[in-house]
Every structure is written in structure tokens, then in C-alpha cells.
Copies of this chain bind each other. A is one copy, B any other.
Amino acid sequence: MTDSATLTAVDPATGAPGTSYPETSGEELEALLAAAAAAADDERFRGEARVAMLRSIADKLRDRVDEIVAVCTAETGLSEARLRGEVERTWRQVLLFADLIETGEHHEVIIETADPDYKPVPRPDLRRMTIPIGPVAVFAASNFPLAFSVAGGDTASALAAGCPVVCKAHPGHPGTSALVGSLIDEAVAEHDLPAGVFGLVQTASVQLATRLVCDDRIEAVGFTGSIAGGRAIFDAAARRARPIPVYAEMGSVNPVVVTAAAIRERGDAIADQLAGAVSQHAGQLCTKPGLVFVPKGADGDSLAQSLGERVSQSETAPMLGPRLLHGAEAAVSELESAGSERVQLLGRSAPAPEGALALPAAVFATDAAELRADPSLREERFGPITVVVRYADLEDLLATLHELEGQLTGTIQLADEGEDQDAARAIAEALIARVGRLVINGVPTGVVVSAAQFHGGPYPATTAPTTTSVGTLAIRRFLRPVLFQNAPEWLLPEPLRG
């Protein structure tokens, strides 16, 4: 895929190489970092122009949707419908941040005027607001080549916060990255903002990426990707002379619990939902259900069988690139090699077309006791793969959930009528203790961008369990509070006056 000077994507549908893009050199990275540091101190980037810039980025993404989708389809193998939707999600997300910063709410202003009677000592005039943390390194994801990539949530929230971004593009879609990056550059230039507001790094070099994380001019890192990648970046940042926050959104198996009553009430509908969530986009979603807990016995067997059949009938879709394909193949091999007394295959979609970087979608099954005994069964399998886990009773289920690591999501499928509410509460409590989002009667895929949204969770779901990478509160990651004590009006920033 990569030589010393260029990056070349592969068309996952055919395996054919696409256009080559030049890699960023060390000298170019240094120039981007210097420009970012200069932009952080530039008055022009602090004010109104930032709102207009974000709206221009949104306009450009919307206006160039055909071109973006064409370039991106050839690099990612994702469907046109999916990519059109993702472009819309991406520009709407940028607009949400523009709207937010126009209100000033992100400054989280608190004003306490002087109080001579305050106890135990008089209180001076205290005015708190947030300011940008400084230049941010964003590591783009492969699986959302738009919404979590160059103009994705990390970039949008950092720019909205007033932080210049140096974005390390994912080498899986260099053409999409170059195109979207050029649209951001255009918006920056049109609003007379310093060029260092945004910089794009195209590289497959771990060394260059590490240099970016460790550069003293970088004040925070946003990352979406694998546990291994996120942890390496976290470790590098923690070893800096001056450590900085790393907001890495990494892995999740997204447990789904289905009750017997729910299966009896609407088993087919649940199987439909789950099969879609497992197989759509070749299962390459950080919220794909990776473990589906069903009760032992006829109800659970029925759901497992339905899910296996539906996934068997799903379309075998290309994966994003050879590395993800090989990872998914290895995960399937591991499940197959466990032995049929431990892990059973319930269904598998048609073999991949010749040349395509595709893996048949597959449903396996095991018992809760096996999952408890073997930590490798509880690991994320990125791709169109899920494992049905049969539980004997509530106690067996809860004991097994208790063994799971931190997760982005947990889901419960409950009956609308006649459900055991105490049991449901116990399941919800067990999930909430280790997830960031609890979904009832749905699937965890599809993360709406809004003010309430929370996309995060305890490690290894993320390295920063108090923060979200989706939704407008994602901006908090890139703002730090400051307090003005007894400052005269003329010295106060505008949000703190009056």
C-alpha cells in the first residue's frame, strides 16, 4: 500500500489500486505545527469569523457531495447511500458546532460578584469562562471516512472551540482526506483566517504520527480507532515532558441482552434489527453488537436461529481495507478453532466475489460460562461478526456481564407487556456500570449528533471516561476554564462583561 513517498488506496470492491497521494514529510509536519501554534495566538481565529468559517465548511461539504461520494466509494467500498448520508451527517454536525459557539454557551460562564459577607472570607469578584486549550492533533478513523475523519466530530469540535487542528488522515482513504482537507483550507482562506487553523498530515508512518503527538506545540489529542492504536498514542502522550489529554475512542463489543419475554413478543423484529446492525457496512461500526445474550431454551434458540438465517442471507460486503479484512478473518478463525463443543457457527453469508476485500458475515454461538472462562471470547471483533451467548438465568447473565470491560454501549431488548421489571433493572444496572450509553429496544448502531448525546465509556471504550466524542458537549474536551478575579471591565473578555 505504501512506499516512502506516496499513499495509495485500494478499491475494496475489486482489490485494484487507486490514485497515489504524496506523503507528508517531516519538514512539512514541522511547518504545519509552527503554523498551528501561530494560528492559536491569532486574534482573527478567536472571534466571529470562526462561526462563518464553520458554516462555509458545511456549505462546501454539501455542495461537493457528488465528488466526495465518488472519491470515497472507490477508496472504502461503502455504499453510495451510506456515504451520502454520512456527508449530510458531517456537514450538519459542523453546523451544530457553529450554532453552539454563536450562543456562547460553550464558554460555560459563571459570574459571582464580590460579596463581603461571604463565609469564611469575603469573596472577590470571580468570573469564570472557558478558552481554547491550544492546537489539537486529530487522528481520523477509517470506518467513518467523513463523520469521524478529516472534517468529522473531533475536527469540528476543536475548531469550534478555537483550537487549530493538525489532522492525521487515515491512510485508508487518502483521496477523500485530501479533498475534504482542501475544502476546509478554502473555508479558512475565504474568511481571512491564518492558514495554520487547519493542517492535513497524510502518512502511514507511526514515527511521524508519534512526532505529532509528542510535539510540545500540541495541547490535546482526539483519536478514533483501535485499542492498540489509541493506547499507543495515549502512552506516547503520557510520556511527554509535559503530558496532555488524549481523548481516544477505541474498542467496544456492545453487549445486547434479549429477554425471553421480548423474543416471544417480537422475536422476528429483533432478529431483523440485529442482523442489520451486524452486517450493515460490513459490521465496521464501533457500536456493532458483538455479543448477543439470549436465554437458554426454546426462545433463545429461536432467536439465535433467526439471526443466523438473516445474516446468512445478508449481502457479503467489502471491508474498508486489507488490514481490517485480515483482522476479521483472524477473529473468525479463532472462533472456528475453539471447537464446536464450545463455539458453534449459526450462519454465514455467501463467499466474497473474486478479488473483493470481503468477508462473509457470520453468527456464532457459545455459552455464558465459556465467555466467563475465556477472556479472548469477550474481545472486540471488528467486522460483520457477532456471537450469541446463551445464559441459563439472571444470575448467570449478571455474572457474565460483570466480566465485561468498559463499553461504548449496552442494549436490552425487553417485552412491552409482562416483562420482569426487577430483572430488567438489575440488567440495566449491570450494563450502566460499564457502558456509556444504554439502549432499550433498539440497536446501538446509529449515534445521533445532538446536545444530549454521549458517545464514550470506561476504558478500553475510551481513555477519557468523563468525555464524549459525539454531540455538542464534545467541545468540552478542547476548552479549559480560566478565572478572572477582580478584573476591571476593560480587561475582561466580552463574555464576562456586564
Contact = CB atoms under 8 A, between A and B. Distances in A.
Interface in A397-456: 405-406, 414, 421, 424-425, 428, 432-433, 435-442, 446, 448, 450-454, 456
A390 interface: no
A44 to B, nearest CB: 15
Contacts of A451: 110, 112
Interface string A439-479: 11110001010111110101110011110100001001101
Interface string A120-142: 11011011100101000000000
Nearest to A416: B488
A134 to B, nearest CB: 8
Interface stretch (A21-29, A240-248, A316-324): A240-248
B476 A466 contact: yes
Contacts of A453: 126, 128, 483
Contacts of A302: none
Contacts of A235: 238
Interface stretch (A49-57, A85-93, A166-174, A291-299): A85-93
A480 to B, nearest CB: 5
B481 A466 contact: yes
A38 interface: no
Interface in A224-247: 234-235, 238, 242-245
Nearest to A237: B238
Nearest to A455: B483
A481 B454 contact: yes
A203 B160 CA distance: 46
Contact of A112 (B124, B133, B440, B452): B452
A433 B132 CA distance: 9
A473 B480 CA distance: 13
B242 A485 contact: no
A471 B133 CA distance: 21
Given A238-B235, A438-B484, A452-B110, A88 B133 contact: no
Given A112-B450, A128-B452, A466-B477, A459 B121 contact: no
A45 B479 CA distance: 32
Nearest to A411: B485
Contacts of A234: 238, 243
A438 B481 contact: no
Contacts of A121: 85, 89, 446, 448
Contacts of A244: 459
B491 A440 contact: yes
Contacts of A89: 120-121
B486 A442 contact: yes
Most chain B CB atoms below 10 A, which of A110, A439, A450, A454: A454
A463 B112 contact: no
Contact of A92 (B120, B437, B485): B120
Given A437-B483, A454-B482, 19 more contacts: A85-B120, A89-B120, A112-B450, A126-B452, A128-B453, A234-B238, A235-B238, A238-B243, A242-B405, A242-B406, A245-B466, A428-B491, A432-B482, A436-B480, A438-B483, A442-B486, A453-B483, A456-B480, A466-B480
Interface of A: 41, 85, 88-89, 92, 110-112, 118-121, 123-124, 126-128, 131, 133, 219, 234-235, 238, 242-245, 405-406, 414, 421, 424-425, 428, 432-433, 435-442, 446, 448, 450-454, 456, 458-460, 463-466, 468, 473, 476-477, 479-488, 490-491
14 contacts: A126-B450, A219-B458, A424-B491, A425-B491, A428-B487, A432-B482, A437-B484, A437-B485, A438-B485, A439-B486, A440-B487, A442-B485, A452-B483, A465-B480
10 nearest CB pairs, A to B: A238-B238, A454-B483, A110-B452, A126-B452, A437-B483, A88-B120, A112-B452, A128-B452, A439-B485, A440-B487
